[in-house]
Amino acid sequence: MEKAKEYCYKYPRPAYTVDAAIIIKNKILLIRRANNPYRGKWALPGGFVDMDETPEAAAQRELKEETNIDNHQLKQFKTYGAIDRDPRHRTISTVYYYYSQKQEFEPQAGDDAEEAQWFSMDYLPTLAFDHALIIQDLLHFLNLK
């Protein structure tokens, strides 16, 4: 029988994820999810934080893995923790963002993203999870809507 680890708790805990919102001019970068939940739906690049990394490092890693974009200028925006935001289990996500009127990036889908594409803020597709709310909040924060 395996000995219980010191400082481990028997109580359930939420999963922790990060999302990266990259906005250039009037466009936002989205990925088409390759896996469930929401397979085939568009979402912000993001994923689970590994045990050996900071949330900031996880946001950089996920952005690079899913879009092949290296952006070390991400800023922390807000944390989302609605109990039902992920149909798999309780998940809390910290959102990071980058906004520019100038810089351009050419995304290439990778990892668990089928596609990576820029979308006009005026014509967003149906989004996975609570990403429509996140984008709406971020646009308001940046005074873009």
Domain locations in the chain? Answer: 15-141
pLDDT number for residue 4: 57
How much of the chain, in percent, has pLDDT values that exceed 90?
Answer: 72
Angle (CA) 57 93 40, round 5°: 95
Q: Which CATH class is domain 15-141?
A: alpha beta
Burial 48-59 (b: 16+ CB within 10 A, else e): ebeeeeebbebb
86: pLDDT strictly greater than 70: yes
Q: Is 115 assigned a catalytic role?
A: yes
User: pLDDT of 1-40, one tens digit each?
Assistant: 556 556 677 888 899 999 999 999 999 999 999 899 999 9
Name all contacts of 133-138 with Cβ < 8 Å and 24+ positions apart: 133/80, 134/19, 134/21, 134/44, 134/78, 134/80, 134/95, 135/21, 135/28, 135/44, 137/77, 137/78, 138/21, 138/23, 138/77, 138/78, 138/95, 138/97
Nearest to 29 by CA among 58, 71, 57, 84: 71
Rounded to the nearest angstrom, the gap between the alpha carbon of residue 119 and the centroid of all alpha carbons in its chain is: 16
**pTM, 2 dp:** 0.90
Task: Specify the residue for token string 């490092």.
Answer: 57
Look up residue 122 and give its amino acid: D
Active-site residue among 2, 66, 104, 115? 115
